[in-house]
């Protein structure tokens, strides 16, 4: 498991060094860093679900990750999953035409 690195303070947007508090505004970053790590971990679990073709569980897991932190990865994966689910539904009804 990789350590999640925050590049900017979520309060004042100052650049961060590897610290437990922001040098500009003094905000404690420990809880924010923990939430970011949890979001990264959930994204990894979602990727494993996706690899197993468990699209619904991957989608649920990514939505949980996005409650903690939005990322480009989770957005892209959710769009991909929604596309795959729509494609499956279209295939399910194609025999009715």
d(CA 63, CA 75): 9
d(CA 35, CA 67): 10
Strand boundaries in 1-97, DSSP class E:
none
- Report pLDDT for 21: 87
Phi (first) and psi of residue 46, to 5 degrees: -60, -40
Number of domains present in the structure of the chain: 1
pLDDT, average across residues 26-41: 89
pTM for the whole structure: 0.75
Domain extent, residue 66, equals 1-97
pLDDT at 96 exceeding the cut of 60: no
Q: Tens digits of per-residue pLDDT, 5-33?
A: 667 888 898 888 777 888 899 988 888 88
> Is residue 53 within a helix (H) or strand (E), and if so which, with residue range?
none
């Amino acid at each position: 498991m990789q350590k999640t690195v925050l590049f900017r303070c979520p309060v004042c947007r100052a650049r961060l060094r590897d610290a437990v508090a922001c040098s500009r505004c003094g905000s404690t970053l420990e809880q924010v860093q923990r939430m970011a790590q949890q979001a990264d971990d959930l994204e990894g679990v979602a990727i494993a679900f996706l690899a197993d073709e468990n699209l619904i569980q991957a989608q649920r897991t990514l939505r949980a990750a996005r409650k903690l932190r939005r990322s480009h990865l989770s957005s892209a994966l959710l769009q991909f999953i929604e596309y795959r689910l729509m494609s499956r539904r279209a295939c399910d009804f194609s025999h009715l035409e």
